[in-house]
């Protein structure tokens, strides 16, 4: 599972303006609803339900909210760079400014886990995150994420 299998340039939000975790998730749910044709509320509720289980703020300014939904037939990824970091209840207590949202079909199983692992590996690269933070251009951000896959292939 590679980033280009999950993400398209249209699903990159280069300058998301949000003042809270909830607002960031709402904005991303709205974008996801447009792409997946699912009700925005359904996507948002799924994300909130997952957050209640434990934060998806993984540290170092990164969050990877995710959920499984009926009504989609493949995994969708969405990336947002926040204009200002927000409290996300991250494991390290640091605010979050990079969010990679992942939505998977209910029966995705191992593919969902592989996608999460790929995203995590990509965003664990601090140099990559600094480049993402330094760009507010959709195509440049997409290219960075897309190219990260080819750089890590062994």
pLDDT in tens, 127-137: 999 999 999 99
Q: Is the pLDDT of residue 126 over 50?
A: yes
How many separate domains does the chain show? Answer: 1
Mean pLDDT of the chain: 92
Name the more confident of 154 and 79.
79
Compute the average pLDDT of residues 115-119.
Answer: 93
What is the CATH classification number for the domain harbouring 129? 3.40.930.10
- pLDDT value of position 16: 97
Looking at 60, 66, 112, 152, which residue is catalytic?
66
- pLDDT value of position 1: 73
Assess whether 66 carries a catalytic annotation: yes
Compute the average pLDDT of residues 108-116.
Answer: 90
Domain holding 59, by residue range, is 3-152
Residue 82's CB is within 10 A of a number of other CB atoms, namely 24
- pLDDT value of position 154: 34
- pLDDT value of position 72: 95
- pLDDT value of position 152: 43
- pLDDT value of position 140: 95
State the pLDDT confidence band at 149, using cuts at 50, 70 and 90: low
Compute the average pLDDT of residues 116-126.
Answer: 93
């Amino acid at each position: 599972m590679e980033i280009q299998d999950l993400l398209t340039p249209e699903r990159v939000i280069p300058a998301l303006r949000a003042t809270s975790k909830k607002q960031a998730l709402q904005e991303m749910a709205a974008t996801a609803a447009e792409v997946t044709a699912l009700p925005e509320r359904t996507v948002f509720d799924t994300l909130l339900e997952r957050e209640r289980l434990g934060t998806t703020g993984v540290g170092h300014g990164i969050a990877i909210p995710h959920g499984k939904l009926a009504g989609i037939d493949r995994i969708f990824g969405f990336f947002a760079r926040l204009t200002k970091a927000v409290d996300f209840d991250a494991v390290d207590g640091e605010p979050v400014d990079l969010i990679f949202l992942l939505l998977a079909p209910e029966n995705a199983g191992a593919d969902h886990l592989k996608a999460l692992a790929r995203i995590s590996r990509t965003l664990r690269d601090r140099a990559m995150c600094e480049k993402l933070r330094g760009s507010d251009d959709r195509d440049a951000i997409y290219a960075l994420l897309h190219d990260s896959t080819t750089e890590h292939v062994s």
